Structure 1
Amino acid sequence: MFSKAEAQIIKKEFWTAFAEAYPRKWLLYDTKIKDVSFKFYVDNKKAQVMLDIEPKDEEKRKIYFEKIESLKNILHDEFLPDAVLERNFHLETGKIISRVWVEKTGGISLYNKATWNEIFDFFNENMDAFERFFYEYEDYIKDLEVNT
């Protein structure tokens, strides 16, 4: 195991190496939709690429999720076949959000540098596909006046 300080150093090295391997600007928090953002996540067992939908207004969260859910077949067929859509995802904090994500498990770890390239490739391929999906359907997703 690593001390907290050692773990922080490894995390920093990981994200720096990822930025060097794939030097591009990711969409992440710049969706132009308040409280809707793309995220990368990695720990000692899994890597995830996520779209978190977390407006405080429950009705907005519902609408944004339902819009993406209405595009589920397209998302699966053309972009991310393994995407999971969860309307009521419970965070460790107790907060409920909507989340769409893909996950890689098995033999990868933030703390094993030998698996970093595999994680980097997973992040790049899946975030790129997620972003292409979002840009393709952005106007529809953003427009709260157009119902699903």
Structure 2
Amino acid sequence: MYSREEAKKIKETFWTSFGQYMQPVPGADGGKVNWVNYKTGIRYLYFRMDADNKKASVAIEIAHPDAGIRALLFEQFQQYRMLLENELGEEWIWHAESQDDYGKETARIYVELAGVSVFKQSDWPSLISFFKPRIMALDSFWSDAQYGFELFK
């Protein structure tokens, strides 16, 4: 078991390593992308990657505090579902109502990889192999779909 400080340091080391690994990879539009802290340009809309001691996940998280706007954003993603899943090459889990780690209401579209731990360096290649193609596919999807979300800016 790791102390809180040790766990934080291990996670920071992983995400720094992942960021350095992804740094030379251009975005779908050819530009530079901060892959670890991806900017969608829409307030309260995040592309998140997470890993803990049991699983890893990649998610589209809609965290708008207004439930009606959050529902509209989720519906807009549903309109793009076929484009998204074609880009990802897989189906993700869709939850119109969810909660983040702090109990805030969100909507999430996500996929998980079970049986991996960010605290086991031997799992890092599996984590990178999980995160890289999915965040790149999200970027590719977003380069086409973002214009359909302009009204939420």
What TM-score, normalized by structure 1, do the two folds share? 0.86
Return the offset for 1:91. 2.6
Return the offset for 1:82. 2.8
In structure 2, runs of 5+ residues without a counterpart are 24-32
Q: Deviations over 1:48-105 (max 9, x none)?
A: 1111111122221111110101221222233241311110012343321111112111
- AA aligned to 1:11 is K
Identity of aligned residues (%): 28
Q: Deviations over 1:5-48 (max 9, x none)?
A: 22122112111211222215228452121111111100011111
Corresponding residue SS for 1:143: helix
In structure 1, runs of 5+ residues without a counterpart are none
Please state if 1:112 is matched with 2:104.
Answer: no
2:4 is aligned to 4
What TM-score, normalized by structure 2, do the two folds share? 0.84
Counterpart Cα distance in 2 of 1:93 and 1:25: 25
Counterpart Cα distance in 2 of 1:56 and 1:29: 20
Q: Name the Cα RMSD after superposition.
A: 1.8
